A and B are shown apart, each in its own frame.
Chain A
Amino acid sequence: MSLNIIVLAKQVPDTRNVGKDAMKADGTINRAVLPAIFNPEDLNALEQALKLKEQHPGSKVTVLTMGPARAAEIVREGMFRGADGGIVLSDRAFAGSDTLATSYALSAAVRKIGDYDIIIGGRQAIDGDTAQVGPQIAEKLGIPQITYAEDIISVEDGVVTVKRRIESGVETVKAKLPLVVTVNGSAPDCRPRNAKAVQKYKYAAVPSEVAADEAKKEFIEKRPYLSIGEWNASTVDADLAQCGLAGSPTKVKSIENVVFTAKEARRIENNDEELEGLIKDLIANHTIG
């Protein structure tokens, strides 16, 4: 049985490598210096999708992302690694969305796609670490969810078997399609780009990327497989009251740059005498030993 698979992916600032210049003097984030990357656990999710596609010939993998038009970069990246196409959901109306408004918009896009068997996303995105959007989409679509997945073992006769990695150990669960699966970072890494796919899809773009270039526009129009979908709130029939700030129950009251109270540190020279002195002190005051 071939499967229609939707992969939820997010383009995120690489918060793991925040250097000294990442914060501006006023305490806000200097996004310009942070590289935008494919959210790491969404790559784990993509790998699970591509594995299912191999096991079920004829399956189709669609990458769905919400963000500015620039997020087409990660749809292309997904296509370079084996996805069949994708959609960027982009609208000013989505600005300021909390997780609930985000899941509302994405679930509206999933409904618009319509034909899906399994939705796979990363457990969480590294810029928020909330892990909320996957389960919230499942709830809005009225379908089950399996979170913390490490391996989608199989899909047979409409039943999916998944291994989950949770604090207390490992669980293997079965559930019927359709459903949402969120994938842990402990799952296998995503395969690298495929040279043939890169050749095939390197000019893939959303309409707004090529709007100013008639030649490119025509080139893509003749090759529908290069066209990445670009949808907005009205394309997916979203209720604006549920989008963006208006649709977000949570509000940010304040944001503070983190400052820790400095202690008076004792400098220990890296020589035998001082290091031995430190060890002796720690033994004497029963910190160690």
Chain B
Amino acid sequence: MKTRNIGVVIRREYLNRVKKKSFLVITFVVPVLFVALCCLPTLIMLNTKEAAKEISVIDRSGIVAPALADNETVTFIDKSDDDVDAVKALVAAGESDALLLISPMDVDEKTVNAETYSLKPLGIDMTENLNRQINDAVEGYRVSSYGIEGLQEIMDAVKPHIKLRTITLDEDGGETISESGVYMMVSMLLGMVIFMFVTLFGGMVMSGVIEEKSSRVVEVLVSSVKSIELMYGKIIGIALVAFTQFLLWIVLALVLFVAAGAFLPPELMSSVTADPAALAGVDGLTEAVPSEAGIVLSTLANLPLVKILVSFILYFIFGYLLYASLYAAIGSAVENEGDSQQLQLPVTIPLMLAFFIALYAFKAPDSALVFWGSMIPFTSPIVMLARIPFGVEIWELALSLAVLAVTFVICAYISSRIYRVGILMFGRKSTFKDLWKWFKQK
């Protein structure tokens, strides 16, 4: 291979992409979208309060209707004296949003049955609200039926309010207050991000190869450079694009973080920088409970961040190289992206598999499935990243990376043999059999 040629190819592949408008757009839009995606559930919860519903109640038990309380989402109208069919007709006519029908109490006076009738199914929040109110009403009735004065107050007083705190120990005996939900989020996030990176930039390699083939520029190129130089120039050039993007995202994230620091309450921010052990307290149980946000930030600060970053970079490099070389071979076999679907299957299946294992890795980070997923080279870049927040031994990382690197070398060899023949095959749809033939060709 000639380094100069690879350099010229890398330069074009890199500059041509970085100079594109779409690169800038993705660089700035993706983080915004990402933040939006994270905030969306909260925003939805805050802003999608259903329009207030009017519910007609027919209460045959006589205990529920008086206990039902209106709020901003629902008003109850007692129609216990009306006929069920008449009220149903009212609902069907759209004059009332729903009918809540409460049965008489059963013979033991222990419980009631409740049904709702509505044109459109009631939302989950509404049904939960109704369920809770009916339960409270029956519970209240039964408590009072014992005839013990002040029983309700006693029952309220004995209800415990327990919050389980998880504290991790390190070998030096230090304690860190942590929140397992944060581990879950970080684990899923890392798995998703590396999956996105590998598919996005691997796919970019494939479409680049297809572009060269379908525009027929490839034959001119390979009369100047070796096909393997062209392939690696492209793969490396696009890797540099990925790193540029990654770097810009980190810078952008830091800017957002600093900006957030200016707006968020200072005590929240200081908890990140403060000694996390102090947060847990000398004796966590007697100290005041730290705020939720404080726990989240302290958990984040206590993740093995350097290990995560280094692993992310290494797994991205090798995972990308492995998949990019496979994508290059697939791209060399087709003349337009549509034809690539079938040939892509062997690449997309392990990627999807890895993605789903990674999403559920938090449930059992040390299970056999997740362990092997983080060792088998085609899934390891994604699954291992999802495992890392829960602590992975160095030997496991080393072994998994070594296997990945060796697999890359093998796949790169196979791919370059397919690529070299494939890029000059015009005018027919290729199959796996063709790829095998090209691989064997001298």
Instruction: Tell me if chain B binds chain A.
Output: no
Residues of A within 8 A of B (CB): none
